[in-house]
Amino acid sequence: MAAEHTGIKHSSIEVNGVALHIAEQGEGPLVVLLHGFPESWYSWRHQFGPLAAAGYRVVAPDQRGYARSEQPADADAYSLLHLTGDVIALIHALGEEQAVVVGHDWGAPVAWTTAMLRPDVVRAVAGLSVPPVLPGGMAPPSVTRQQYGDRYYQNYFQQPGVADAELGRDLPSTFRRMLFNGSGDNPANTRPRPWIVPEGASLLGGGPDPELPAWLTPEDIDAFADDYARHGDRAFTGPLNWYRNIERNNELLAAFRGRGIDVPALYVVGDRDMVTSLHGIDRVIDSLDAIAPKLHRSVTLPGCGHWTQQERPEEVNAALLDFLGHLPKAE
Residues labelled catalytic: 105, 306
Angle in degrees, CA 44, 50, 53, rounded to 5: 130
Q: How far is CA 237 from CA 44, 64, 231, in A?
A: 22, 11, 9
- Compute how many other C-beta atoms are within 10 angstroms of the C-beta atom of residue 160: 12
Q: How far is CA 179 from CA 55, 194, 227, in A?
A: 31, 16, 16
Spacing of C-alpha 41 from chain mean position: 10
- Compute how many other C-beta atoms are within 10 angstroms of the C-beta atom of residue 207: 6
Q: How far is CA 82 from CA 12, 204, 249, 267, 310, in A?
A: 18, 29, 10, 24, 27
Q: How many residues does the chain have?
A: 331
Instruction: Find out whether 66 and 72 touch, Cβ atoms under 8 Å.
Output: no
Instruction: Find out whether 158 and 151 touch, Cβ atoms under 8 Å.
Output: no
H helices of 208-245, in order, are: 218-228, 237-243
